[in-house]
Amino acid sequence: MDGFELNRMLAAALLALLVGMLATKLSDELVSPRYLAKDAYPIVVTEEQSVPAAASQEEVKAEPIEPLLATANIEHGQEVAKKCLQCHSFDKGGPNKVGPNLWGVVGNRVAHLESYGYSSAFKGHGGSWTYEELNDYLYHPQKHIPGTKMAFAGIKKTRDRADLIAYLRTLSDSLLALPKSESHE
């Protein structure tokens, strides 16, 4: 490769850069945006549309399931529970997995298993697993107990949560009474 060939390659590279710069300048001149004096679609925000802090906390509360528990389908609850099998076991005396064993969870205190390492958020939550507490937790675990290690989006369908909780209720030596159906009273 001689000096003349090297000069031709450098000239070609410089020419390509020059053509690119000229094309950019020309395109800016041909297509220049015109900015509007005011927005074409104004967005009006009223006080009613803003979400107060109290309302955002209520989003954690799920639709009540007590009326549905009286007619819950335990077999369907067992099917819904298959979503949980990857992280939880359901057998009496079964092993803890990524999550704790769920035998006897209904009616028991939150973070009741000594053999499982619960997060500090879970340990500090307190209370017991009532139907309402389980319902709210299963609806959105991370919002109900902020800081929980459970990486599950939750169960959004009210009927599925009611059936799952009714199934979990059967996995216990001491059963909490299910709410009576209003039609039976």
Each residue's pLDDT tens digit, 4-41:
899 999 999 999 999 999 999 998 888 877 777 877 77
Residue 12 lies in a domain: no
Tell me, what's the pLDDT at 68? 84
Residue 140, in any domain of the structure: yes
- Read off the pLDDT of residues 29-80 as tens digits, 9 standing for 90 and up: 888 777 778 777 777 766 554 444 444 444 557 788 888 888 889 999 999 9
Range of the domain at 73: 58-174
| pLDDT, mean of residues 125-133 | 89
> What are the C-alpha distances in Å from 64 to residues 68, 131, 135?
8, 9, 7
> Considering the domain boundaries, does residue 163 fall inside one?
yes
3-state DSSP assignment of residue 19: helix
Residue 36: inside a domain: no
Confidence (pLDDT) at 44: 73
The sign of the CA dihedral 112, 129, 141, 88 is positive
CB atoms within 10 A of CB 137: 23
User: Average pLDDT over the chain, rounded to whole?
Assistant: 82
Whether 11 maps to a domain, the answer reads no
**Whole-number percent of the chain with pLDDT over 70:** 84
Q: What is the CATH number of the domain that holds 170?
A: 1.10.760.10
What are the tens digits of pLDDT across the range 76-94? 999 999 988 889 999 988 8
